[in-house]
Structure 1
């Protein structure tokens, strides 16, 4: 089976117009599909309104008990259900899930490393591809929130790029999987101030060179690491592109072996 997994995050989730454009493009994708979403900016806003400080290390959120409540509400509720509702409105029969639903994504709490305790943050152990297939075979479109669980009743905040990559890798064992990372830029840029400087293809060796010279940095590093891991695990195609390119020409940056 051909399956397309689309991950959307960043400013796209926050902007109703950009999100509507992306969902229309998502609708046009033929065959089975899964949508994975982020929502970190919305979680930060809600946390601030509740008087809860957002703490970040290297661009990654530290999730204490209070913040876990916020991200569970925001990711699993507010963002997820709004996306599901908008998909239903345009004729896509969608179902919203966290990793705890149907036991679909199991993870473990990230261990303390170099003195940094990320709290209730999960690193993925397993994605149940068969369970996802039961939904896809029923003509449903899964919409995955960036939340997993430890199998013992505790929810865990989990990077959406990682969830998209791990889900693609699990399904690629039996399916032809395309993974598309959508955000506000047209691809990976050689010059962050020039949207016309898209790097057409990135391999592992080129990624290492671009990281060493500082061309690629910050939040793009884990995104490309996840993309490379997916390709290396047998995912047919991985593209990083702009939200409004989805379902059209699939322009952007292709991640390759």
Structure 2
């Protein structure tokens, strides 16, 4: 049973993608534009955004830093000045491997600022309009790293776990207001974030494949959009284990 209103068509829908200069965000922007959506793309990399809009007529570039609340608010106002916003996708992300033996407070806080607090800035900018219209959709890109603690994910994993909890609570709070909420948890996707991984990434997929899975999830009205299932279902099952078995399985799987 769909938990959200299925999105049956994209033509003339207004979509704002925050964190769309590369990877999953960029691929999703391309897929939405191809289906006739009015696409607004934001990220820090203005040159990458301009390169996208140059070859995607009608798309609009709104460069911003998600840690800058005023910049996020101003961009949201520009989007909403063109008409009702139908869907916002928060896909900004930051990842650096970190373990407790090499704890860096600055890195911990940077992950929090981009991966979690940036999403709060976007929510602050779009929720009033969604609530006033009793319509809209909020989609957050998290990660299977948010399902449970993993080695080298000391800084990254907790921010994704926070997004998971945020999305679940938003869904319960907003369901009666007819505002959709979806949580997107990819496995390994070939992006600039994963390029620094020095290990074999199981079930690695391309950003285009991730974008296809995301659109299929929205179109089916899913809350929990995770892919590729040949990997993510194992990660979900792992989290059901009691802690002694969970810790042993993670150590065996990762070698760490």
The verdict on a shared fold, with TM-score over 0.5 as the criterion, is no
Larger helix fraction of residues: 2
| TM-score normalised by L of structure 2 | 0.33
